[in-house]
């Protein structure tokens, strides 16, 4: 459904002086702008010059687009996954496209924007990749079928049994759009293969199997025939392309199931890898694996940054990869060789039957980690005596021995947690100084394993995400408490059968799906209709997790001493941390005099040639800030309508520099929003 306004007829080509923001994450995915109109001296006078409200926000919704600006038009997606085109100078809506045809959203979408190339706007909705006319918003009928292709196709598995989408936009190389994917983290999984499609026809041009098949490099790093059932190893955070070298770079996620890998014994290439592929053919050029046989959900959280550093006195084109664990791997762009030494240290073994963890894991010697990497008893919160005592009691019932503490029936602290360390917002790189800017979380999570329970279909199939108590970990894993008051039996059955987002479809359960619906409606869990048959299902494992639990103190704050979030400047030339500051606040604690705590933060920074670092990201104070990029000194801040959990875009139209940021909120209980705000200096 496309809404057109007469104003679309007035779109004119941008002048030669205009500077665009054409690519998600900026050119080379380094979130850098050469514009210099806004400086350290005048940034304090920055004001909002337009605001656009999509009116699409709903409970727990998110909006994470990095706006794309081409020919004076700004393109983004809304919380309901409508695609919008705005006049980038005024914020006036030019057109909007709704792939759902106006239907109410059935769930929260997590989506990071669009790809614009030669008059076409590419974006994903559920399992479809669309191509729209950039001037009208109409689907282009010659692309695929009526303007879209089904991303479940070409993966050599029954499409009705797969859930495949993409939260991050693809990249363009020549006449191809190259795309990663978002897939479930349970079994049976969907493979995270990387694919290139023809931008005009939508036809598949090449595919790289991130879960290798017989005869392919890396096949022997999995159990026999893992490729038939395992999923993940997906480039969910997006891709980066070097057009001059003809190379595309991906950072891949962990293999499924996330927390127990007895069905995938081995290092599991190409999960948790930086991958360099020939952009024309999809052929592997090199790879670097950052976590071997991951059972901690430590997937690489952001697409690689293509940087140029000074190393041993010479300029080197490199790839900088940030991680959830707080490390930065710096790799030669052509060969994948680490520029700083990487050591392999011993890691503990698992006590869970059937699990075989890697005996060693890689640790870069430089740069040093930008987060704490182990939650120890002396780090327990001192915010109040009551909070300290409560956290201490819980902590002593858990295993917490650093990043690679094996999962257990007792319960394991994941720190840095499943949200990092570094997150999907990515890093900004300043080519003049060689500084890489990364915002980071320090938020422990708890994972507790449980034996497969033949008395509960719900626990075995749903409890790993939504919790045995149905409370989930909203908004990432929604609560199912009283779900029958919000959904009919038919709606629940459809969601279980078809899947949604990262949730796979469970059609293979047959009549057992009705038993799960019965439990959700009545609370009566009848268990498997046939326990022996249940054990033969492709997703059956001896152990499962009881849910995702964000470790908090009794009042909902992080359970450790601050900082709970940081902003970091890392010198990639020397492999040193230049500066680090707490990032974010809880307004209610600030009012009590408890300042500079840091907070959880999602979304990335952008750095300018004029000495500034801009970033939103902080969930609860909803602020948008500008820092001196050399020192980390705060120069300007403002409060947004909702948290700016997105990367800002910087562009110039008719000699005026703008900074636009999407304000979506919705993370970890923060209020949701659906607006875009653009800032500029006062007009002369």
Please tell me whether residue 581 adopts helix, strand or coil conformation.
strand
Mean pLDDT calculated for residue range 358-380:
98
* 292 — pLDDT class (breaks 50, 70, 90): very high
* 477 — pLDDT class (breaks 50, 70, 90): confident
Beta-carbon contacts of residue 52 (< 8 Å; ≥ 6 apart): 84, 86, 91, 93, 675, 676, 677
Give me the pLDDT at residue 7, please: 37
Cβ atoms of 426 and 322 within 8 Å: the answer is yes
- Closest to 384 in 3D by CA, of 561, 583, 588, 621: 561
Mean pLDDT calculated for residue range 118-123:
98
Please say if the pLDDT value at position 498 is more than 70. Answer: no
d(CA 42, CA 419): 35
d(CA 209, CA 66): 28
Two structure tokens written together for 121: 């706007």
Examine residue 469 and state whether it is found in any structural domain, yes or no: yes
Q: Which residues of 259-296 are buried (b: 16+ CB within 10 A; e: fewer)?
A: bbbbbbbbbbbbbbbbbbbebeebebbbbbbbbbbbbb
Give me the pLDDT at residue 504, please: 62
Angle at 583 between CA 66 and CA 166, to 5 degrees: 30
Examine residue 497 and state whether it is found in any structural domain, yes or no: yes
Please say if the pLDDT value at position 586 is more than 80. Answer: yes
Please say if the pLDDT value at position 14 is more than 60. Answer: no
Q: Among 268-277, 388-397, 435-444, 501-510, where is mean pLDDT lowest?
A: 501-510
Please say if the pLDDT value at position 620 is more than 60. Answer: yes
Please say if the pLDDT value at position 11 is more than 50. Answer: no
d(CA 650, CA 657): 7
Q: How confident is the model over 402-444, as pLDDT tens digits?
A: 999 999 999 999 999 888 899 999 999 999 999 999 999 999 9
Please say if the pLDDT value at position 364 is more than 50. Answer: yes
Cβ atoms of 261 and 542 within 8 Å: the answer is no
Mean pLDDT calculated for residue range 186-207:
95
Q: Among 21-35, 476-490, 585-599, where is mean pLDDT lowest?
A: 476-490
- Closest to 89 in 3D by CA, of 174, 18, 25: 18
Mean pLDDT calculated for residue range 120-138:
97
Mean pLDDT calculated for residue range 57-67:
95
Burial of 45 (0-12, 13-18, 19+ CB in 10 A): exposed
| CATH code of the domain covering residue 464 | 1.10.760.10
- In the chain, what is the straight-line distance between the N-terminal and C-terminal CA atoms, in Å? 41
288 forms beta bridges with 274
Two structure tokens written together for 215: 């005869």
Cβ atoms of 57 and 642 within 8 Å: the answer is yes
Return the DSSP state at 15. P
Please give the distance of CA 408 from its chain centroid, rounded to a whole number. 26
Q: How confident is the model over 532-560, as pLDDT tens digits?
A: 766 777 677 899 888 888 999 999 999 99
Examine residue 417 and state whether it is found in any structural domain, yes or no: no
Please tell me whether residue 91 adopts helix, strand or coil conformation.
coil
125 forms beta bridges with 128
* 55 — pLDDT class (breaks 50, 70, 90): very high
- Closest to 671 in 3D by CA, of 663, 662, 679: 663
**Residue found under tokens 């004119």:** 12
Residue 15 CB: number of other CB atoms within 10 A?
11
Which is it for the CA torsion 209, 212, 213, 214, positive or negative?
Answer: positive
Please tell me whether residue 214 adopts helix, strand or coil conformation.
coil
Could you give the count of Cα atoms lying within 13 Å of 660 in the half-sphere of its Cβ?
A: 30
Examine residue 506 and state whether it is found in any structural domain, yes or no: yes
157's torsion region: left (phi>0), alpha (psi -120 to 50) or beta? beta
Q: How confident is the model over 207-229, as pLDDT tens digits?
A: 999 999 999 999 999 999 899 98
513's torsion region: left (phi>0), alpha (psi -120 to 50) or beta? alpha
Give me the pLDDT at residue 630, please: 98
What are the CA-CA distances from residue 161 to residues 14, 201, 458, 497, 534 (Å)? Answer: 46, 26, 19, 9, 17
Examine residue 389 and state whether it is found in any structural domain, yes or no: no
**Residue found under tokens 């595309």:** 248
The domain of 464 spans: 453-540
Residue with the bigger pLDDT between 360 and 464: it is 360
Give me the pLDDT at residue 4, please: 46
Please tell me whether residue 573 adopts helix, strand or coil conformation.
coil
- Closest to 658 in 3D by CA, of 18, 221, 176, 104: 18
Give me the pLDDT at residue 15, please: 47
Q: 423 φ, ψ to 5°?
A: -130, -175
Q: How many domains does the chain have?
A: 1
**Residue found under tokens 């306004």:** 5
d(CA 260, CA 197): 34
- Closest to 227 in 3D by CA, of 156, 127, 300, 153: 156
d(CA 155, CA 576): 43
With pLDDT > 90 as the criterion, what percentage of the chain qualifies?
Answer: 78
d(CA 311, CA 616): 32
Q: How confident is the model over 317-340, as pLDDT tens digits?
A: 999 999 999 999 999 999 999 999
Task: Strands of 143-238 (E only): list them.
Answer: 148-150, 171-173, 176-179, 194-198, 204-208
Please say if the pLDDT value at position 491 is more than 80. Answer: no
What are the CA-CA distances from residue 99 to residues 67, 123, 144, 376, 537 (Å)? Answer: 19, 10, 15, 48, 35
Tell me the H-state helices in 431-559.
Answer: 457-461, 463-466, 489-498, 512-522, 531-534
Please give the distance of CA 201 from its chain centroid, rounded to a whole number. 28
d(CA 177, CA 340): 33
With pLDDT > 70 as the criterion, what percentage of the chain qualifies?
Answer: 93
Please say if the pLDDT value at position 10 is more than 50. Answer: no
Examine residue 107 and state whether it is found in any structural domain, yes or no: no
Examine residue 419 and state whether it is found in any structural domain, yes or no: no
pLDDT mean across residues, the chain: 92
Could you give the count of Cα atoms lying within 13 Å of 5 in the half-sphere of its Cβ?
A: 14
Cβ atoms of 621 and 584 within 8 Å: the answer is yes
d(CA 304, CA 306): 6
Gyration radius of the chain over CA positions: 24
Mean pLDDT calculated for residue range 36-54:
98
Return the DSSP state at 526. -
> What pTM does this model have?
0.92
Residue positions counted in the chain: 684
* 499 — pLDDT class (breaks 50, 70, 90): low
Q: 638 φ, ψ to 5°?
A: -150, 160
Examine residue 179 and state whether it is found in any structural domain, yes or no: no
Give me the pLDDT at residue 131, please: 98
Please give the distance of CA 660 from its chain centroid, rounded to a whole number. 20
């Amino acid at each position: 459904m496309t809404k057109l306004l007469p104003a679309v007829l007035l779109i004119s080509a941008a002048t030669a002086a205009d500077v665009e923001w054409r690519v998600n994450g900026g050119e080379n995915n380094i979130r850098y702008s050469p514009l210099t109109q806004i400086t350290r001296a005048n940034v304090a006078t920055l004001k909002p010059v337009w605001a656009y409200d999509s009116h699409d926000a709903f409970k727990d919704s998110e909006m994470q687009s990095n706006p794309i600006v081409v020919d004076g038009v700004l393109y983004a997606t809304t919380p309901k996954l409508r695609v919008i085109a705005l006049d980038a100078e005024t914020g006036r809506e030019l057109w909007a496209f709704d792939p759902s045809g106006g239907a109410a959203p059935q769930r929260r979408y997590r989506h990071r924007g669009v790809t614009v190339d030669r008059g076409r706007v590419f974006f994903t909705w559920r399992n479809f990749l669309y191509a729209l006319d950039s001037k009208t918003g109409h689907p282009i009928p010659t692309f695929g079928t009526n303007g879209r292709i089904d991303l479940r196709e070409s993966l050599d598995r029954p499409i009705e049994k797969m859930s495949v989408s993409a939260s991050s936009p693809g990249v363009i190389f020549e006449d191809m759009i190259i795309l990663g994917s978002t897939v479930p983290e349970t079994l049976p999984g969907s493979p995270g293969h990387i694919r290139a499609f023809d931008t005009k026809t939508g036809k598949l041009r090449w595919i790289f199997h991130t879960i290798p098949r017989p005869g392919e490099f890396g096949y022997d790093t999995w159990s026999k025939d893992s490729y038939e059932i395992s999923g993940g190893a997906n480039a969910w955070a997006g891709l980066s392309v070097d057009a001059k070298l003809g190379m595309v770079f991906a950072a891949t996620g962990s293999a499924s199931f996330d927390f127990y890998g007895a069905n995938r014994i081995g290092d599991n290439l190409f999960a948790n890898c930086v991958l360099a592929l020939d952009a024309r053919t999809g052929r592997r050029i090199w790879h670097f694996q950052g976590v071997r046989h991951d059972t901690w959900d430590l997937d690489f959280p952001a697409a690689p940054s293509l940087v140029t550093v000074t190393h041993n006195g010479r300029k080197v084109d490199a790839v900088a990869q940030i991680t959830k664990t707080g490390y930065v791997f710096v790799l030669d762009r052509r060969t994948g060789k680490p520029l700083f030494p990487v050591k392999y240290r011993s890691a503990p073994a698992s006590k869970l039957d059937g699990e075989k963890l890697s005996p060693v894991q890689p640790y870069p010697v430089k740069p040093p980690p930008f987060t704490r990497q182990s939650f120890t008893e002396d780090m327990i919160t001192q915010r109040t005596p009551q909070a300290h005592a409560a956290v201490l009691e819980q902590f002593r019932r858990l295993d917490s021995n650093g990043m690679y503490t094996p999962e257990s029936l007792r319960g394991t602290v994941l720190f840095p947690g499943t949200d990092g360390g570094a997150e999907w917002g990515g890093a900004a790189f300043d080519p003049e100084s060689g500084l890489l800017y990364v915002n980071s979380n320090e938020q422990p999570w708890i994972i507790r394993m449980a034996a497969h329970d033949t008395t509960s279909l719900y626990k075995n199939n749903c409890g790993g995400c939504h919790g045995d108590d149905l409370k989930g970990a909203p908004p990432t894993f929604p609560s199912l408490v009283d779900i029958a008051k919000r959904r009919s039996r038919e709606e629940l059955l459809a969601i279980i059968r078809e899947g949604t987002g990262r949730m796979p479809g469970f059609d293979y359960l047959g009549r057992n799906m009705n038993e799960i619906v019965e439990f959700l409606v009545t609370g009566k869990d009848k268990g498997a209709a046939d326990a022996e048959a249940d054990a033969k299902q492709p997703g059956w494992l001896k152990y499962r997790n009881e849910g995702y639990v964000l470790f908090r103190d009794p009042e909902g704050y992080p359970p450790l001493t601050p900082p709970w979030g940081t902003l970091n400047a890392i010198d990639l030339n020397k492999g040193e941390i230049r500066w680090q500051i707490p990032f974010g606040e809880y307004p209610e604690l600030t009012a009590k005099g408890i300042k500079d705590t840091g907070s959880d933060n999602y979304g990335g920074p952008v750095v300018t040639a004029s000495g500034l670092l801009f970033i939103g990201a902080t969930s609860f104070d909803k602020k948008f800030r500008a820092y001196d990029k050399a020192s980390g000194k705060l120069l300007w801040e403002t409060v947004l309508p909702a948290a700016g959990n997105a990367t800002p875009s910087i562009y110039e139209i008719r000699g005026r520099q703008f900074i636009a940021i999407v304000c979506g909120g919705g993370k970890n209980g923060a209020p949701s929003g659906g607006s875009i705000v653009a800032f500029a200096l006062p007009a002369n």
